[in-house]
């Protein structure tokens, strides 16, 4: 039996309900002034070939109008839907991230203009904003990881680790600057810094013990688009980041566990007599915090299917290499 074609002019599909066995195709023509909907159904068991009405007017259907400039494209709308989720209550994490990025750029750009040899008084507001936003981002990251990463313990632990990293580096930026309030003694500031490094050391040690498991967890998924740098990319990104974080946390705990290890001790141990060890440590802490933030963002973007594994490897590995060089430079090792 030949298929029957019903042409409904300016009609609605719901006006002629058909059982699923009868309605085989539904082809919607782009909306025009004479919208047509084709319903093709057949009673036989075999699916017939789609039939299209031979209508000259159908071939002359005008193309849809161009998108107005004030409306976002489909790609931008898709990107917005993937990033704008209900996990971030009241967009606190996004807003704090914007303020954090602005303060970080302002600090590093100001330091670049004077060769990273001084900390001007104009950076006091940016340093305080850097501390506050780092704490807010860390707190919201822990909250989202505990609530929405319950089925992914490896990524959940990684986000909590990076959250404590952000908090500790934000506090390090304050105590390493000349803007530490006089009401806070250096011993108290070091004690707070030491407490914030303890969970970082614990999470990083756990990652070091099961490094192959953590690296394998970020393998390329089935049907995932984009490239992959392979084992070399995994070692230079995930493994290198874990090892660098473990060494940094261990060194920080060792130095801060002794109350005599203050700024003067750092200058005497690692300085070259120019008095720039503390200043370089301040800027290297900002770079380290930025590297951690970029790494966390890259993991989120890949989980949202926005970037590929290769992009994630680069966004994790390159900032980590920058922070390692900054830390070695601050200690006059390189």
List of residues 6+ apart from 148 with CB closer than 8 A:
87
pLDDT at site 224: 77
Spatial distance between the Cα atoms of 196 and 191, rounded to a whole number of angstroms:
9
Same domain, 29 and 112: no
If asked whether residues 253 and 128 sit together in one domain, one would say yes
Between CA 36 and CA 55 the distance in angstroms is 11
pLDDT given for residue 136 in this prediction: 93
Q: How many residues does the chain have?
A: 334
Q: What is the pLDDT of residues 146-192, one digit of tens each?
A: 888 888 888 888 899 999 999 999 998 888 888 988 888 888 888 89
Residues 262 and 325 in one domain: yes
Q: Which token pair is 227?
A: 């490239």
The answer to whether 156 and 166 have CB atoms below 8 angstroms apart is no
Would residue 251 count as lying in a domain?
A: yes
Beta-carbon count within 10 A of 191 CB: 13
Q: Is 275 found in the same domain as 182?
A: yes
User: CA gyration radius for the chain?
Assistant: 29
Judgement on whether residues 9 and 150 belong to the same structural domain of the protein: no
Q: How many structural domains comprise the chain?
A: 2
CA 173 – CA 196 distance, rounded (Å): 13
Residues 327/248, Cβ–Cβ less than 8 Å:
yes
Which of 37-41, 94-98, 300-304 is the least confident region?
37-41
**Whether residues 151 and 260 fall in one domain:** yes
Is residue 73 in some structural domain?
no
Q: Are residues 50 and 175 in the same domain?
A: no
Per-residue pLDDT at 92: 85
Structure confidence at residue 105 (pLDDT)? 94
Q: Is residue 176 part of a domain?
A: yes
Provide the pLDDT for residue 34.
Answer: 40
Confidence class of residue 85 from pLDDT cuts 50, 70 and 90?
low
| Mean pLDDT confidence for 268-280 | 73
**Is residue 141 scored above 60 in pLDDT?**
yes
Higher pLDDT, 151 or 65: 151
Residue 121 lies in a domain: yes
230 and 317 housed in the same domain: yes
Q: Which has more confidence, 37 or 88?
A: 88
Q: Which region among 43-52, 211-220, 258-267, 287-296 has the lowest average model confidence (pLDDT)?
A: 43-52
Q: Are both 200 and 281 inside the same structural domain? A: yes
* Helix pair 309-330, 277-303: axis angle to 10 deg: 170
Same domain, 228 and 319: yes
Asked if 33 and 106 sit in the same domain, the reply is no
Rounded to whole angstroms, the Cα distance separating 291 from 283 reads 13
Q: Which of 10-19, 111-120, 319-328 has the highest mean pLDDT?
A: 111-120
| Mean pLDDT, the chain, whole residue set | 77
CA distance 295 to 289: 10
Domain limits for position 8: 4-59
122 shares a domain with 51: no
């Amino acid at each position: 039996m030949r298929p029957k074609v019903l042409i409904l002019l300016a009609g609605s599909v719901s006006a002629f309900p058909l059982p699923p066995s009868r309605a085989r195709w539904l082809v919607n023509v782009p909306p025009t002034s004479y919208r047509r909907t084709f319903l093709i159904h057949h009673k036989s068991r075999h699916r017939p070939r789609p039939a299209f009405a031979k209508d000259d007017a159908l071939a002359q259907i005008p193309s849809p109008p161009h998108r107005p400039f004030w409306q976002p494209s489909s790609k931008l709308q898709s990107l917005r839907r993937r990033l704008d989720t209900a996990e971030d209550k009241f967009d606190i994490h996004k807003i704090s991230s914007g303020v954090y990025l602005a303060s970080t750029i302002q600090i590093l750009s100001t330091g670049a203009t004077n060769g990273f040899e001084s900390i001007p008084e104009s950076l006091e507001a940016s340093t305080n904003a850097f501390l506050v936003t780092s704490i807010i981002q860390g707190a919201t990251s822990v909250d989202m990881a505990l609530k929405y990463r319950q089925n992914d313990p490896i990524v959940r632990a990684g986000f909590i680790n990076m959250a404590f990293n952000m908090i500790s580096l934000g506090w390090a930026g304050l105590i390493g600057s000349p803007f530490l309030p006089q009401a806070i003694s250096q011993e108290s500031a070091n004690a707070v810094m030491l407490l914030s490094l303890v969970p970082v050391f614990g999470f990083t040690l756990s990652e070091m013990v099961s490094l192959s498991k953590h690296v394998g967890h970020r393998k390329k998924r089935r049907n995932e688009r984009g490239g992959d740098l392979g084992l070399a990319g995994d070692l230079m990104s995930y493994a290198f980041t874990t090892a660098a974080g473990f060494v940094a946390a261990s060194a920080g705990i060792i130095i801060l566990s002794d109350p005599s290890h203050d700024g003067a001790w750092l200058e005497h141990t690692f300085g070259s007599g120019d008095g720039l060890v503390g200043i370089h440590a301040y800027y290297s802490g900002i770079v380290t915090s930025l590297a951690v933030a970029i790494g966390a963002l890259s993991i989120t973007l890949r989980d949202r299917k926005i970037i590929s594994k290769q992009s994630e490897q680069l966004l994790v590995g390159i900032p980590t290499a920058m922070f390692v060089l900054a830390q070695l430079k601050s200690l006059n090792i390189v």
